[in-house]
Amino acid sequence: NAGVTQTPKFQVLKTGQSMTLQCAQDMNHEYMSWYRQDPGMGLRLIHYSVGAGITDQGEVPNGYNVSRSTTEDFPLRLLSAAPSQTSVYFCASSPHTGPEAFFGQGTRLTVV
Amino acid sequence: SQQGEEDPQALSIQEGENATMNCSYKTSINNLQWYRQNSGRGLVHLILIRSNEREKHSGRLRVTLDTSKKSSSLLITASRAADTASYFCATDTTGTASKLTFGTGTRLQVTL
Average pLDDT, chain A: 96
Confidence grade of residue B4 (pLDDT, cut at 50, 70, 90):
confident
CA–CA gap between residue B94 and residue A13 (Å, rounded): 36
Longest dimension (CA), chain B: 41
Q: Is pLDDT at A25 greater than 80 in this prediction?
A: yes
Determine contact, residues A65/A10, Cβ cutoff 8 Å: no
pLDDT recorded at residue A43: 95
List residues in chain B touching A: CB distance below 8 A. Answer: 1-4, 6, 9, 30-31, 33, 35, 40-45, 48, 88, 90, 92, 95-105
State how far residue B97 is from chain A, nearest Cα, in angstroms. 4
pLDDT, residue A1, reads 67
Spatial separation of the C-alpha atoms in residues A104 and B92, rounded to whole Å: 20
Are A90 and A5 contacting, i.e. CB atoms less than 8 angstroms apart?
no
The model's pLDDT over B60-71, given as tens digits with 9 standing for 90+, comes to 999 999 999 999
B1 touches B20 (CB < 8 A): no
**CA B101 – CA B4 distance, rounded (Å):** 7
pLDDT value of residue A42:
86
- Indicate the helix (H) or strand (E) that contains B7: strand B5-7
Q: Which of B4, B6, B99 sits opposite A48 (nearest CB)?
A: B99
Whole-number Å distance between alpha carbons of B30 and B26: 13
Distance CA A81, CA A68 (A): 21
Interchain proximity A98–B103, CB inside 8 Å: no
Between the two ends of chain A, the Cα-to-Cα distance in Å is 36
Q: Which of A43, A99, A106 sits opposite B102 (nearest CB)?
A: A43
Q: Residue B43 and residue A31: Cβ atoms within 8 Å?
A: no
Task: Evaluate if residue A31 carries a pLDDT over 90.
Answer: yes
> Per residue, what are the HEC states of chain A?
CCCEEEECCEEEECCCCCEEEEEEECCCCCEEEEEEECCCCCEEEEEEEEECCEEEECCCCCCEEECCCCCCECCEEECCCCHHHCEEEEEEEECCCCCCCEECCCEEEEEC
Percent of chain A with pLDDT over 90: 92
Question: Is residue B1 very low, low, confident or very high in pLDDT (cuts 50, 70, 90)?
Answer: low
**Tens digit of pLDDT for each residue in A73-93?**
999 999 999 999 999 999 999
Tell me which residue of B83, B87, B81 sits closest to B23, measured CA to CA.
B87
> Is residue A60 very low, low, confident or very high in pLDDT (cuts 50, 70, 90)?
very high
- Cβ neighbour number for residue A102 with a 10 Å cutoff: 20
* The pLDDT value given to residue B40: 86
Q: State the Cα–Cα distance between residues A21 and A10, nearest whole angstrom.
A: 10
φ/ψ of residue B65, rounded to 5: -140, 130
pLDDT band for position B2 (50/70/90)?
low
**Could you read off the pLDDT of B8-57 as tens digits, one per residue?**
999 999 999 999 999 999 999 999 999 999 998 999 999 999 999 999 99
pLDDT, mean of residues B87-98: 92
